[in-house]
Amino acid sequence: MNKLNKTLLIGGVSLAVLVPVTMVLASDGMPGNGRGNGQNCNSSQQMQQRHANDGGAWNGSPTGRMGNGSSMGKGSGMGNGSGRGAEMMSGSISSLQTQIDAMPKATLTADERAGLLRMREEEKLAHDVYVALDAKWDLQVFANIAAAEQTHIDAVTLLLDRYGIADPAAGSAAGTFTNPEFQALYTSLVQQGSTSLVSALTVGATIEDLDLADLQARTTTTPDIALVYSNLERGSRNHMRAFTMQLTRNGAGYAPTHLTQAAFDAIIAGDMEHGPLG
């Protein structure tokens, strides 16, 4: 089922929301199979920007948004809606695996091992909260970024497997964590994000804020960990930009609680970055 942008006026304030529809009419009048958003894009650059606003990954090619659309439907939204989302994500992880395999194994410090365990559950926290908030608000940015967070989980899991570290979240249900800090955060963030759309978007920005601060605190010269962490940081910067753009659309802003104001401002001033892991 696709989602289309729709604007409601509440108290004179424009509130952008997304509503589900059963089909999108293609340019030839036939139902398209893809996940077009019903927005006309005249160039690859316009497609990239609109796609980025919803927190979707972009690989630099005009193939439309990452999604589950089947076949090559000619949906009238962004691109052909060819449903390449899972394929692109799988390719990103495969490429990262190849790069990691080419690097020598290191002898990890206790801090590096602890960092990998923390980041594994922190990425799960982001994924599970966004899935819950997408179910509540049916907003595409949550669905897109939740999918990207799964690739973040997969990337950290590559390192856990490489170094024989037991996955602390293996087989765990959504919303359950071994780290009590993340368990408490999940409960409070989902509760907060369920009160209003702006609160939900603020929760998203807060999670990316925390993620970036934690990654920066774990800077390392160990090549394979540094590679994964740099990719996670790039993805989180893009996610932060997507959430703050959505907040701006809804007449709100975000004040960082983990990053410095200067670091946050620099991220928001930057363009969406290309690369694997969303």
3-state secondary structure 147-171: HHHHHHHHHHHHHHHHCCCCCCCCC
The predicted structure's pLDDT at residue 275:
81
Domain ranges of the chain: 1-83, 85-269
Instruction: Please name the CATH architecture into which domain 85-269 falls.
Output: Up-down Bundle (1.20)
SS3 of 252, please? Answer: coil
Residue 104, pLDDT > 50, answer yes
The predicted structure's pLDDT at residue 17:
36
Query: For tokens 């809606």, what's the residue?
Result: 81
The predicted structure's pLDDT at residue 128:
98
How many residues are there in the chain?
278
Q: 31 has which bridge partners?
A: 25
Answer whether 73's CB lies under 8 Å from 33's CB.
yes
The predicted structure's pLDDT at residue 90:
65
Residues 6+ apart with CB under 8 A from 108: 116, 163, 222, 225
pLDDT band, residue 89 (cuts 50/70/90): low
Residue burial 183-199, b: 16+ Cβ < 10 Å; e: rest: eebbeebbebbeeebbb
pLDDT tens across 4-22, in order? 343 333 333 333 333 333 2
pLDDT tens across 186-199, in order? 999 999 999 999 99
Global pTM value: 0.73
Residue 43, pLDDT > 50, answer no
Residue 65, pLDDT > 50, answer no
Q: Classify the C-alpha dihedral 145-251-207-273 as positive or negative.
A: positive
Mean pLDDT of 244-260: 98
